[in-house]
Chain A
Amino acid sequence: MTTELFIQYLVAGVTYGSIYAIVAIGFNIIYNTTGIINFAQGEFVMLGGMLSITFLHYLPLPLAITLAVLVTMGIGAAIEMLFIRWLKDPGVLRMIIITIGLSILIREAALHVWGSNVRALPYFFGNEISTFAIFGARVSPQVLWVIGTCGLMVVALNIFFQATSIGREMRACAANRVAALLCGIDTRNMVTLSFVLSAGIGALAGAVMSPITYTQYDNGTGLAIKGFTVAILGGLGNSLGAVAAGLLLGIIEAFSVSVVPLAFQDAIAISILLIILFVRPYGLFGSSAMAGLKEF
């Protein structure tokens, strides 16, 4: 393998990996406040892309994306308030199945609104064929947008959770709900906020990646599965673990193309992940002590 080819695969791997990481972090934020995996997370990404494409007919690109992110955040809040908030002592499996039902509903609604056509936002700079060189490999500028946006989101989220009081309240809620409640934190608002936050980052990722990965009504499912894999592999609730696991999955996938046919790409990537999971049952960066504190 030449250096150029190696870099080419690596860049592709990092691009997809950072998208997976963002979806996984979306899972983690909600998991931390509620203990559930929100299976509609992939649909937030799809909605971000689809809404941006629609708004682009009326608004310039930055405004269209901003509006799409805001609308998706509203949808996230609405979902939480309508379907999760008023449940009395809901079991984890019950909430998971509700989110599965929601993901089906959103997907079907998208099918009837936007049809089954593949759509895409235009490239932010240049077009499909404009590239620049890194060590001899040709890379689209959109790739930098994806990697940069995902990286910025990770940094911003970290600052939010470490340095702001709302972020700290959310972490308190994740550590111990009852104790957080006793300290005067409205845990229900924190849950709503976590849905808003993960809808927002999902939608932003969906808009930025749209030019290279395209957007279709049903590409939330695939992303949700990859994001779930990454979240598990990184250790549920561990956002930095998710970044590492996301990059790992992306890079494994990218390089597996050079060894096996594209059709087997998913099978290879997931087999490797399963083996890792059998050796490290709580993910690469998770611990059994942490997992033991969670109900499910």
Chain B
Amino acid sequence: MGKNLVFLPIVAVVIAIQLLTAWTGTIYYLTQLTMSAYYSLLIVGLCVVMGYAGQISIGHAGFFAIGGYLSAALTTRNLIPHADFLLVRLLNSLGCLQAGQDVYGDPLLVFTPWVACIIAILTTLIVAFILGVPVLKLKGHYLAMATLGFGIIIYRIVLASAYFGEADGISGVPGFMLVPGLLVSGDKAWRVPNYYIAWSVLLLAILLLRQLIDSRVGRALRAIHGSPEAAEAMGVDIATYKLKTFMLSAVFSALAGVLLTHYNGGIGPSEASVMKSVRYVAIVAVGGMANLWGALAMGMLLNFLSLRGLFGSYDDAVFGLILITIMLFAPNGILGLQLGRIWQGLPYFLRKKPVTKGVND
């Protein structure tokens, strides 16, 4: 249990931030912190795929979108016109559906958030499996291209189908009652509980990932990352481990999509865009690749700053600048930064001593 003591200071910081915002009357910060926590959930999952299993994925916004869009569509699209279908009647009698009213007061019959969430997660698992089996055989840039292609396909599907709201996305998504008394909702009254819900989910996910990394699976993954051939020779079933990790991170992304969509009350196509996927990859990289805490720290920081709109219309530019700066001067991520390194990283023309030329240059 000793190795999990590291969670204590983090929990303390999470609670301290909440108390601080309550004390200083800046409770609105919690909204962006909650959203950042959900994005970070996706990012720590991706961190295991990239950092530990060594597989790049530029398609994780696609999994996020599958989760978010399915739960949004299932909990808002009215089934009353189809109420006579056998399947709809069956689902209704099983308690999978709930009645409600739309904004005009007309009756509504939709999936309950729990059922929608489970359908979304199962769909993600199936998609991740079907995609993962052929894609994870690819390497390097080819893998990057294939996952990027998957992301574009999901983006185009949500952008082009009326069921997913085309360019407008889906709004009016109801809250998600996890258990009685715990509602995932953007309503102001639920701001503090939601902050804790998001962080609980995120920290549980990290706990799970840490257990995974320190287990047989984690050792196998590191072996794969180090040398696939050697790992295979030692009897490690490379394909299965890669696939399982990929599917796990896809589920994390989808769960982040489900929860954030209920929290925001809607989702738009920009959540599925390629730039989002690229952002997630970049955040994992600036966090130091195989470093869950680095991924968490950068995920929270960069998402929070973006969501606060601190840089106004220069938001993307600042993001690019941070990326370049960290990659130039701290290639092992902020947490891997040693001050002596900065000196080595300075441009060679700024240094006094000439660099000895050699084969290694």
Contact = CB atoms under 8 A, between A and B. Distances in A.
Q: Do A and B come from the same complex?
A: yes
Contacts of B316: 104, 107-108
A236 B153 CA distance: 22
Interface in B303-334: 313-314, 316-317, 319-321, 323-324, 327-328, 331
A100 B348 contact: no
Interface string A90-126: 1111100110111111011101100000000000000
Interface in B135-189: 135, 137-142, 144-146, 148-150, 152-153, 156-157, 159-160
A178 interface: yes
Contacts of A259: none
Contacts of B281: 97
Contacts of A168: none
Given A86-B349, A101-B327, A281-B142, A108 B317 contact: yes
Contact of A101 (B148, B156, B320): B320
B285 interface: yes
Given A94-B331, A229-B149, A281 B323 contact: no
A277 B347 CA distance: 40
Contacts of B26: none
B156 A97 contact: no
Contact of A100 (B278, B347, B361): B278
Most chain B beta carbons < 10 A, residue from A87, A101, A225, A229: A101
A181 interface: yes
A274 B317 CA distance: 32
Interface in A197-241: 221, 225, 228-229, 232, 236
B238 interface: no
B327 A97 contact: yes
B133 to A, nearest CB: 9
Contacts of B285: 93-94, 97
Nearest to A224: B274
Contacts of A105: 317, 320-321, 324
A103 B156 CA distance: 22
B149 A270 contact: yes
A278 B320 contact: no
Interface string B328-342: 100100000000000
A133 interface: no
B359 interface: yes
Contacts of B149: 229, 270-271, 273-274, 277
B193 interface: no
A135 interface: no
B324 A83 contact: yes
B146 A88 contact: no
A98 B321 CA distance: 9
Contacts of A182: 359
B282 interface: yes
Contacts of A264: 156-157, 160
B153 A267 contact: yes
B275 interface: yes
Contact of B138 (A37, A101, A263, A277): A277
A277 B324 contact: no
B323 A266 contact: no
A108 B324 CA distance: 14
Interface string A56-90: 00000000000000000000000000010011111
A277 B142 contact: yes
B46 to A, nearest CB: 13
A270 B153 contact: yes
A290 interface: no
A283 B146 CA distance: 11
A147 B331 CA distance: 42
A261 to B, nearest CB: 7
B93 interface: no
Contacts of A228: 145, 148
B360 interface: yes
Given A93-B285, A182-B359, A278 B134 contact: yes
A281 B138 contact: yes
Contacts of B275: 221
B4 interface: no
B320 A108 contact: yes
B280 to A, nearest CB: 12
B227 interface: no
Nearest to A264: B160
A274 B150 contact: yes
A195 interface: no
Given A108-B317, A277-B138, A278-B134, A267 B157 contact: yes
Interface of B: 56, 134-135, 137-142, 144-146, 148-150, 152-153, 156-157, 159-160, 274-275, 278, 281-282, 285-286, 289, 313-314, 316-317, 319-321, 323-324, 327-328, 331, 344, 347-349, 359-361
20 contacts: A37-B144, A89-B360, A101-B320, A104-B316, A111-B313, A225-B274, A232-B142, A261-B160, A263-B156, A263-B160, A266-B156, A267-B153, A267-B157, A267-B160, A270-B152, A271-B153, A273-B149, A274-B146, A278-B146, A291-B142
Interface of A: 37, 83, 86-94, 97-98, 100-105, 107-109, 111-112, 178, 181-182, 188, 221, 225, 228-229, 232, 236, 261, 263-264, 266-267, 270-271, 273-274, 277-278, 281-283, 291, 294-296
Nearest 9 Cβ contacts at the A-B interface: A104-B320, A263-B160, A101-B323, A108-B317, A101-B324, A267-B156, A278-B134, A296-B140, A105-B320
Given A37-B141, A188-B361, A221-B274, 16 more contacts: A86-B347, A98-B328, A100-B323, A101-B320, A104-B320, A108-B316, A221-B275, A232-B141, A264-B157, A271-B153, A273-B149, A281-B137, A282-B142, A291-B139, A291-B140, A291-B142
